[in-house]
Amino acid sequence: MTMRPRQKDRLETNPALSTRRLKLGTFQTNLDSGCVMSDLDGRLDITWPNTVALAKLADEMEFEALVPVARWMGWGGKLNPQGPGFETYTWAAGISASTQNSGVVSTSHITINHPIIAAKQSAAIDHISDGRFILNVVTGWVQPEIEMFNQPFLSHEERYACAEEWLGIIKRLWTEDDSFDHEGRFFKIKKGYLAPKPIQYPYPAIMNAGASDLGRHYAVKHCDLVFTVIRTGGFDECRAHVQAYHTLAREQYGRDIKVWTLVNIVQGETEAEARAFYDDYVHKRGDWDAAKNMVEIFSLETNKRNVPPERIKPLQEAFIQGWGGLPVIGTREQVVDRLMMLSKAGLDGVLVAFPRYEDGMRDFRDKTYPLLKQAGLRDFV
Ligand X SMILES: Cc1cc2nc3c(=O)[nH]c(=O)nc-3n(C[C@H](O)[C@H](O)[C@H](O)COP(=O)(O)O)c2cc1C
Given the complex with ligand X, which of 72 and 180 has the nearer CB atom? 72
Report in angstroms how near the CB of residue 139 gets to ligand X at its nearest.
6
| CA–CA separation, 257 and 255 (whole Å) | 6
What is the x/- site pattern for ligand X, positions 130-169, by CB under 6 A? Answer: --------xxxxx---------------------------
Given the complex with ligand X, which of 140 and 204 has the nearer CB atom? 140
Q: What is the largest CA-CA distance in the chain?
A: 63
Distances 288 to 26, 40, 76, 266, 291 between C-alpha atoms, Å: 24, 13, 10, 19, 5
Report, in this order, helix, strand and coil percent for the chain, each rounded to 5: 45, 15, 35
The correct pick among 112, 116, 128, 211 for binding ligand X (CB under 6 A) is 211
- Considering only residues 248 through 287, tell me which ones interact with ligand X, judged by CB under 6 A: 262
- Considering only residues 21 through 40, tell me which ones interact with ligand X, judged by CB under 6 A: none
Report in angstroms how near the CB of residue 339 gets to ligand X at its nearest.
17
Distances 85 to 44, 96, 120, 276, 379 between C-alpha atoms, Å: 11, 17, 22, 30, 34
**Chain residue at closest Cβ approach to ligand X:** 215
| CA–CA separation, 113 and 104 (whole Å) | 18
Given the complex with ligand X, which of 133 and 201 has the nearer CB atom? 133
- CB burial string 126-150: b at 16+ within 10 A, e below: bbbbebbbbbbbbbbbbeebbeeee
| CA–CA separation, 176 and 354 (whole Å) | 42
What is the x/- site pattern for ligand X, positions 56-95, by CB under 6 A? Answer: -------------xx-------------------------
Given the complex with ligand X, which of 211 and 307 has the nearer CB atom? 211
Rounded to 5 degrees, what are φ and ψ at 373? Answer: -65, -45
Neighbours of 303 (CB within 10 A): 18
Given the complex with ligand X, which of 189 and 209 has the nearer CB atom? 209
Report in angstroms how near the CB of residue 51 gets to ligand X at its nearest.
15
SS3 of residue 71 by DSSP: coil
- Considering only residues 221 through 240, tell me which ones interact with ligand X, judged by CB under 6 A: 227, 229
* 215 in contact with ligand X (CB under 6 A): yes
Given the complex with ligand X, which of 69 and 125 has the nearer CB atom? 69
Residues in touch with ligand X (CB under 6 A): 69-70, 107, 138-142, 209-212, 215, 227, 229, 262
